Amino acid sequence: MYQIKAKIIANKKITSQYYNLVVDAPQIAKFAKPGQFINVQISEGYEPFLRKPFSIYRIGPPKVKQKSKIELLYKIVGKGTNILSQKKSGECIDIIGPLGNGFILPPERKKNQKQKSGIILIGGGIGVVPLLFLAECLMNFRSFVVSVLIGIKNKKESLLTCNFDKLNCQVKIATEDGSIGSKGLVTDLLKEELKVGRSSSLFMTYSCGPSLMLKEIAKITEKDKIPAQVCLEEYMACGIGSCLGCAVKIKSEDFPGFKYVRVCKEGPIFDAKQVIWDE
Ligand SMILES: Cc1cc2nc3c(=O)[nH]c(=O)nc-3n(C[C@H](O)[C@H](O)[C@H](O)COP(=O)(O)OP(=O)(O)OC[C@H]3O[C@@H](n4cnc5c(N)ncnc54)[C@H](O)[C@@H]3O)c2cc1C
Ligand code: FES
């Protein structure tokens, strides 16, 4: 874990609500894994007082072994993200990372293996962010068929889907209003995909998005006995394991059958079966 003043290379507006931030952070980029996040100090004053966590979208530059840049994709939702969107190239921001455990990648398979295994990535809204870095790893180094299922509100959010197409993943989109892809929920797409997937060898799902979506995915995958890793984007305060502000309940063999873990330290990636979802 490093704390550095990272120079902003770009902070580009993609749509009125979404921004793409690239910072020079060689120490963090070198060790970053998909599913990990960085904690950004938005301003040097007290507003906002707390750092803000953002998943690592990509590391770069592309096709270069020595990675030095961290890319984020963020949505403006409040004061912190609004201030962040006004930062200019050349300014520096204080960041801590890489934080959290990251996704556990499936075991390496030989490229020429006859039957490829299927992996499904499921993202809801801005929850697609950690899945792009994961998809890049899965597509570059491993022999899997990677399907990406993305749930967004409407066509205006299709920016969240575009970089997956470029990776040759099989991308399917569900929108609430049917303006692009199929009308409905991303979990409906998952149910359909599993019907097809069972005949080949589907063996893993990875998801990130709203907790109701993750809870439903946990239910579906448990029923079909498919391993599922979920990324919980819980509210955080310190982001480094000190305040217990992000604690969630997971199952435990010891009395009373559950324990609390810190999303920022033991997570944000958990086995979906282990999480005790809110009733
Ligand atoms: C591990 C992790 C990774 C994240 N990755 C990304 C990312 O890649 N891109 C991105 O845009 N956002 C991401 N987030 C969410 C991001 O941290 C918040 O949107 C940001 O902190 C909001 O700050 P703000 O000051 O603009 O808004 P605030 O004033 O703090 O909040 C504005 C609104 O957003 C809601 N909100 C704030 N934080 C969260 C949260 N964690 N979950 C759900 N609702 C929230 C609040 O309830 C409020 O309604 C991530 C969060 C976590 C914990
Ligand atoms: S946010 Fe402080 S322990 Fe996780």
Ligand approaching nearest to the C-alpha of 42: 1
Name 204's bridge partners.
119
Strands (E), the chain: 2-13, 18-24, 37-41, 52-55, 58-60, 69-75, 92-99, 117-124, 144-152, 170-175, 182-183, 201-208, 228-231, 247-251, 258-262, 269-271
Would you state the structure tokens that stand for residue 257, as one six-digit string? 């059958």
DSSP H helical ranges for the chain: 26-31, 79-85, 129-141, 159-165, 186-197, 211-223
- Per-residue pLDDT tens over the stretch 39-76: 999 998 888 999 999 999 999 998 888 999 999 999 99
- The finding on whether 129 has its CB within 6 A of some atom of ligand 1 is yes
pLDDT band at 84 (very low <50, low <70, confident <90, very high): very high
**Ligand 1 atom 25: residue of nearest CA:** 80
CA pair distance 108, 169, nearest whole angstrom: 18
Average pLDDT over residues 216-230: 94
Range picked from 26-30, 144-148, 161-165, 231-235 for highest mean pLDDT? 26-30
Cis check: omega of the bond before 53, within 30 degrees of 0:
no
Atom of ligand 1 nearest to the CA of 72: 8
Ligand 1, atom 52, lies closest to the CA of: 233
Count, residues in the chain:
279
270 lines ligand 1 (CB under 6 A): no
Q: Which CATH class is domain 117-232?
A: alpha beta
**What's this model's pTM, rounded to 2 decimal places?**
0.95
3-state DSSP assignment of residue 142: coil
Given the candidates 2.40.30.10, 2.70.50.60, 3.30.420.40, 3.30.750.24, the CATH classification of the domain at 2-99 is 2.40.30.10
Q: Exposed, middle or buried: residue 59 (CB in 10 Å: 0-12, 13-18, 19+)?
A: buried
Distances (CA, A) of 262 to 28, 226, 229, 236, 249: 21, 25, 16, 10, 9
Locate the domains of the chain by residue range.
2-99, 117-232
Pocket of ligand 2 (CB under 6 A): 236-239, 241-246, 262, 264
In this prediction, what percent of the chain has a pLDDT beyond 90? Answer: 79
Q: What is the mean pLDDT of the chain?
A: 92
Question: How many C-alpha atoms does 111 have within 13 Å on its Cβ side?
Answer: 3
Q: Please say if the pLDDT value at position 209 is more than 90.
A: yes
Could you give the angle at which helices 186-197 and 211-223 cross, rounded to 10 degrees? 20
Q: Which pLDDT belongs to residue 194? A: 87
Hey, is 127 helix, strand or coil? helix
Mean pLDDT of 252-276: 96
Per-residue pLDDT at 110: 63
pLDDT at residue number 132: 97
113 CB neighbour count, 10 Å cutoff: 10
251 pLDDT band, cuts 50/70/90, is: very high
Centre of ligand 1 from the C-alpha of residue 126, in Å = 10
- Which residue has a Cα nearest atom 28 of ligand 1? 78
* Ligand 1 probe mutation, 77, 230, 231, most atoms within 8 A of CB: 77
Which bound ligand lies closest to the C-alpha atom of 211?
1
Nearest residue by C-alpha to atom 9 in ligand 1: 74
Q: Name the DSSP class of 157.
A: G
Flag whether pLDDT at 196 surpasses 90: no
- Distance, in Å, from the CA atom of 73 to the CA atom of 160, rounded to the nearest integer, reads 9
- Say if ligand 1 is within 6 A of residue 79 CB: yes
**Given the CA of residue 262, which atom of ligand 2 is nearest to it?**
4
Residue 183, number of CB atoms within 10 A of its CB: 12
Average pLDDT over residues 132-141: 88
In the numeric block, the tokens 């570059």 are attached to: 140
What tens digit of pLDDT does each residue of 85-135 get?
Answer: 999 999 999 999 999 999 999 877 666 666 667 899 999 999 999 999 999
Tell whether ligand 1 has an atom less than 6 A from the beta carbon of residue 210: no
Sheet-wide strand order for 52-55: 52-55, 37-41, 92-99, 2-13, 18-24, 69-75, 58-60
pLDDT at position 198 is: 58
| Rounded CA separation 194/196 (Å) | 5
The residue that leads in pLDDT, 214 or 196, is: 214
